[in-house]
Amino acid sequence: MRILLAEDDQTIADHTRGKLEMEGFVVEHRATGPDVWAEGETGDYAAIILDLGLPGMDGLSILKRWRASGVETPILVLTARGSWMERVDGFDAGADDYLPKPFRSEELIARLKALLRRAGGRAKTRASAGGFVLDEVARRITYDDRPIDLTPLEFRLLALLIAEPDRVFDPLEIARQVQGRDDDAGKNAVEAMIARIRRKTHATAIETRRGFGYTIAGEGA
| Closest approach of Ca ion to the CB of residue 60, in Å | 12
Q: Least distance in Å: CB of 38 to Ca ion?
A: 18
Residue number of the CB closest to Ca ion reads 53
For the CA atoms of 69, 152, 92, 40, the dihedral, rounded to the nearest 10 degrees, stands at: -30
Residue numbers 143-202 binding Ca ion by CB under 5 A: none
Residue 101 Cβ vs Ca ion, minimum distance, rounded to whole Å:
8
Q: Is 80 or 119 the residue whose CB approaches Ca ion more closely?
A: 80
Q: By CB neighbour count within 10 A (0-12 exposed, 13-18 middle, 19+ buried), where does 35 fall? A: middle
For Ca ion, which is the closer residue by CB, 8 or 173?
8
Nearer to Ca ion, 34 or 120 (CB): 34
CA 84 to each of CA 90, 175, 180: distance values in angstroms, whole numbers, following the listed order: 10, 11, 6
| Alpha carbons 221 and 217: distance in angstroms, whole number | 6
Residue 9 CB, shortest distance to Ca ion, in Å, is 5
Q: Work out the angle between the directed axes of helices 171-179 and 184-200 (0-180°, nearest 10).
A: 90
183, 89 Cβ separation under 8 angstroms: no
Of residues 7 and 136, the one with the C-beta less far from Ca ion: 7
Q: For Ca ion, give the closer residue by CB, 8 or 92.
A: 8
The 35-64 contact track toward Ca ion, x by CB under 5 A, reads ----------------x-x-----------
Minimum Å gap between C-beta 108 and Ca ion is 15
Per CB under 5 A, 100 contacts Ca ion: no
From CA 146, how far away is CA 41, in angstroms rounded? 33
Nearer to Ca ion, 7 or 96 (CB): 7
- CA of residue 180 relative to chain centroid, distance: 9
How many residues of this chain interact with Ca ion, rule: CB under 5 A?
3
Nearest-approach distance from CB 45 to Ca ion, in angstroms: 19
Please compute Rg for the chain using Cα positions. 18
Give the footprint of Ca ion on residues 2-21 (CB under 5 A). Answer: 8
Cβ atoms of residues 130 and 205 within 8 Å: yes
Contact footprint for Ca ion (CB under 5 A)? 8, 51, 53
